[in-house]
């Protein structure tokens, strides 16, 4: 759908630190989700685009932080809770936002670990937690990306060997 190609751009704006821009972007995203739901009785494509873009944005140092995450989730949730949308859509969005919130928390746990060999085991453990969550929500393409990331870790300590066994 044409809407899906805009999701990433709108999400960029949703995570802005400029209040009015963020508010308008969240309203646009809300409208996109509602429109997609009315057209196809689901918003799976938008969900996929959102998760992929959030993964990209939150793993880059330049974009997003806890404040952006909190505002984005709470504003979108508030719009759905206060609107006159179908109850099934409201519940589906609520579940999705709960999932996104945990996903972003796990992403930030990985991202915020300092570089260096002394933190490699912590990084592996945090990444495994993230991967476990990603696998549970059925985002195989992102899961595979993190498997490759872990395999590329240079030294193979016992923890890394265990991780490779776990991921197989």
Q: Which of 95, 112, 129 is a domain's end point?
A: 112
Q: Are residues 149 and 163 in the same domain?
A: yes
The reported pLDDT for the residue numbered 116 is 82
CA 33 to CA 59: how far, in whole Å?
Answer: 24
Q: How crowded is residue 18: how many other Cβ atoms within 10 Å of its Cβ? A: 10
Q: Are residues 104 and 25 in the same domain?
A: yes
In 3D space, the residue among 67, 99, 66, 80 whose CA is nearest the CA of residue 32 turns out to be 80
Residue 168: band (very low, low, confident or very high) from pLDDT cuts 50, 70, 90: low
Q: Are residues 78 and 158 in the same domain?
A: no
Q: What is the dihedral of CA 108, 113, 117, 122, to 10 degrees?
A: -70
Q: Are residues 9 and 72 in the same domain?
A: yes
In 3D space, the residue among 155, 159, 161, 164 whose CA is nearest the CA of residue 117 turns out to be 155
Q: Which of 112, 131, 150 is a domain's end point?
A: 112
Q: What is the tens place of the pLDDT at every residue in 69-118?
A: 889 999 999 999 999 999 999 999 999 999 999 999 999 898 888 888 88
Residue 23: band (very low, low, confident or very high) from pLDDT cuts 50, 70, 90: very high
Name which of 62-66, 104-108, 143-147 the model is least confident about: 62-66
Q: Are residues 127 and 86 in the same domain?
A: no
Q: Are residues 80 and 20 in the same domain?
A: yes
Domain that holds residue 166: 116-168
Q: Are residues 85 and 151 in the same domain?
A: no
Q: What is the mean pLDDT of residues 2-14?
A: 84
| Domain tally, the chain | 2
Count of positions (residues) in the chain: 168
For the question of whether the overall pTM of this predicted structure is more than 0.95, the answer is no
Q: Is 154 a residue whose pLDDT tops 50?
A: no
């Amino acid at each position: 759908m044409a809407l899906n190609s805009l999701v990433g751009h709108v999400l960029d704006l949703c995570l802005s630190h400029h209040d009015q821009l963020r508010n308008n972007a969240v309203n646009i995203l809300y409208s996109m989700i509602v429109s997609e739901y009315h057209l196809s009785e689901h918003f799976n494509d938008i969900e996929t685009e959102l998760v992929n873009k959030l993964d990209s944005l939150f793993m880059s140092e330049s974009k997003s932080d806890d404040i952006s995450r909190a505002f984005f989730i709470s504003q979108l949730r508030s719009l759905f809770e206060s609107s006159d949308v179908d109850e099934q859509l409201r519940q589906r969005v609520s579940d999705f936002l709960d999932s996104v919130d945990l996903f972003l928390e796990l992403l930030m746990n990985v991202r915020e670990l300092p570089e260096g060999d002394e933190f490699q085991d912590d990084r592996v453990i945090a990444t495994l937690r993230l991967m476990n969550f990603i696998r549970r929500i059925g985002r195989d393409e992102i899961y595979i990306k993190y498997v490759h990331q872990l395999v590329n870790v240079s030294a193979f300590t016992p923890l890394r060997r265990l991780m490779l066994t776990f991921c197989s």
